[in-house]
């Protein structure tokens, strides 16, 4: 089920970034990409909190997450920043994942802002666990409310700055606490009774920049939407979320996200109107081909090695992340 949501999140991001979705005045591209990122962050928070609930070892957690993120991110950053003769400050900000913070260093690496939010969250939650033990996870709901309150105070409906966006990851973490809590049967029944498609409509509205204050509810609606599908099958949706195609897209989704902006550079990004978008199938093919090769032949061996190192396990079974 989670693989299906991961596949949906990356497809929404691709659609928002690479396809024409109605007249520009409707701002559907912006809303679609925002919805994809929100789901992605929710899943990330759910995964991270779930991992730490099952194994609160901070070194093991950081080793696995860094092995998952750094090899491809650093490879692409070295190539892109090197080709663009980036300044020293831009190198440092991107390689150490604070480029999304003022004064911002995202001129050549704009989509890496989300990795910055993610990596900063890893450090935050690792520190909470290191200081408080597994009880540190209960910082998550308080941090969620604090970040949302700060967003409201600042009027930040959508932002790339960590302290104005990380509530989407924190909401996923709270969902994990609910899902794995001792009282999970009662909490699951509460989620199961919420009308799913009503939440979907509110969530989609919360992703549109013209719907104002509803944007502040986006983290909660995203977590609720995913959470409902963990409690009961949704007619018409469950088969899509569980199909093999969704599982494959989910597996390569990280690499797809990293590569996709660069597949529309140069000639592939030129042209006006339909002339430009007729080239999009080539861009999609390049993105998915690179993502497949990276996932299975570059990132995969590194991830398996990291897990064997941490777990003392010689199994070569692919990781579920």
The answer to whether 22 and 28 are in contact (CB under 8 A) is: yes
Positive or negative, the Cα torsion across 317, 230, 250, 214?
negative
The whole-number average pLDDT for the span 55-78 is: 95
- Please answer whether residues 102 and 161 qualify as being in contact, where contact means their C-beta atoms are separated by less than 8 angstroms: yes
With a CB cutoff of 8 Å and minimum separation 6, the contacts of 249 are 6, 7, 10, 11, 256
Instruction: Give 291-310 pLDDT, tens digit per residue.
Output: 999 999 999 999 999 888 88
Lowest mean pLDDT among 112-121, 180-189, 222-231, 239-248: 180-189
Distances (CA, A) of 299 to 4, 24, 28, 116, 306: 21, 37, 33, 19, 11
Please report the pLDDT score of residue 180 as a whole number. Answer: 85
The confidence band for 183, taking pLDDT boundaries of 50, 70 and 90, is low
Contact 97, 119 (CB under 8 A): yes
Who's near 214: CB < 8 A, 6+ residues apart? 202, 205, 206, 208
CA distance 318 to 213: 42
Task: Return d(Cα 26, Cα 208) in angstroms, integer.
Answer: 9
The chain-wide mean pLDDT, for the chain, equals 93
Above 50 in pLDDT, residue 314?
A: no
Identify the band that residue 40 occupies on the pLDDT scale cut at 50, 70 and 90: very high
pLDDT digits (tens, 9 = 90+) for 195-213: 999 999 999 999 999 999 9
Mean pLDDT of 184-197: 83
299-315 burial, b at 16+ Cβ within 10 Å, e below that, comes to beeebbebbeebeeeee
Q: What is the pLDDT of residues 91-101, one digit of tens each?
A: 999 999 999 99
The pTM assigned to this predicted structure is: 0.93
Q: Inter-axis angle of helices 167-180 and 113-132, to 10 degrees?
A: 50
Residue 183 is given by DSSP the state T
Angle between helices 218-231 and 28-54 (to 10 degrees): 60
Tokens of 200: 């979907």
> How far is residue 246's CA from residue 148's CA, in Å, rounded to a whole number?
31
Band of pLDDT at residue 1, cut at 50, 70 and 90: confident
Q: How far apart are CA 179 and CA 77, in angstroms?
A: 36
Q: What angle do CA 285, 289, 168 make, to 5 degrees?
A: 90
């Amino acid at each position: 089920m989670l693989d299906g949501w991961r596949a949906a999140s990356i497809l929404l991001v691709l659609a928002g970034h690479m396809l024409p979705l109605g007249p520009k005045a409707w701002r559907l591209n912006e809303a679609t990409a925002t919805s994809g990122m929100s789901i992605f962050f929710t899943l990330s928070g759910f995964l991270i909190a779930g991992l730490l609930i099952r194994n609160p070892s901070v070194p093991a957690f950081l080793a696995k997450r860094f092995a998952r993120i750094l090899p491809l991110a650093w490879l692409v950053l070295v190539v892109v920043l090197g080709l663009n003769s980036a300044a020293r400050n831009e190198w440092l900000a991107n390689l150490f994942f604070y480029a999304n913070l003022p004064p911002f260093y995202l001129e050549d690496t704009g989509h890496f802002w989300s990795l910055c939010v993610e990596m900063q969250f890893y450090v935050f939650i690792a520190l909470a666990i290191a200081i408080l033990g597994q009880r540190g996870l209960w910082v998550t709901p308080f941090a969620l409310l604090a970040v949302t309150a700060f967003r409201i105070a600042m009027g930040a409906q959508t932002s790339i700055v960590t302290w104005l966006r990380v509530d989407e990851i924190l909401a996923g973490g709270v969902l994990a606490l609910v899902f794995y809590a001792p009282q999970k049967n009662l909490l699951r029944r509460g989620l199961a009774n919420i009308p799913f498609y009503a939440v979907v409509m509110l969530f989609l509205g919360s992703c549109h920049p013209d719907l104002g204050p509803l944007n502040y509810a986006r983290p909660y609606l995203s977590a609720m939407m995913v959470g409902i599908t963990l409690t009961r099958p949704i007619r018409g949706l469950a088969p899509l979320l569980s199909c093999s195609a969704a599982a494959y897209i989910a597996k390569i989704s990280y690499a797809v996200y990293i590569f996709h902006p660069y597949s529309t550079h140069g000639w592939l990004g030129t042209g006006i109107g339909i002339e430009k978008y007729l080239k999009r199938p080539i861009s999609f093919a390049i993105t998915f081909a690179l993502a497949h090769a990276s996932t299975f032949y570059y990132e995969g061996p590194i991830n398996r090695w990291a897990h064997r190192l941490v777990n003392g396990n010689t199994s070569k079974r692919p990781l579920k992340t």
